[in-house]
Amino acid sequence: MTDLNKPSRRQFLKVGGAALVALPIIAMSGNALAAKNESVRAALQYQTSPKDGKQCSTCQNYQAATKGCTLYPGDTEIVPTGYCSGYIAKK
């Protein structure tokens, strides 16, 4: 095997450096994907705490897998303990 086929120390450092730069960007992009539908939140008086024992986790509209709600298009930050006027108890 010739030295031409072996990755050089310089190449190794370039790849490692690029990975170190990419990690925070990847981590931040996860947060960038989270979104709130502020107009629907206001219209339905969304709150992050339960009301009279009613909360998102017991509501038919809650989408636990995506942290969403069928009444809130694009919103990915609906918390299980939240509540709004669109609440419908699960059967």
Nearby residues of 51 by Cβ (< 8 Å), 6 or more positions away = 83, 87
CB of 32 to ligand SF4, least distance (A): 22
Judged by CB under 6 A, the residue of 61, 67, 76, 77 near ligand SF4 is 61
Hey, which residues between 64 and 83 contact ligand SF4 (CB under 6 A)? 69, 71, 78, 82-83
CB of 85 to ligand SF4, least distance (A): 7
Q: Exposure string (b/e) for 4-39, b if CB count within 10 Å is 16 or more?
A: eeeeeeeeeeeeeeeeeeeeeeeeeeeeeeeeebee
Binding site for ligand SF4 (CB under 6 A): 46, 56, 59, 61-62, 69, 71, 78, 82-84, 86-87
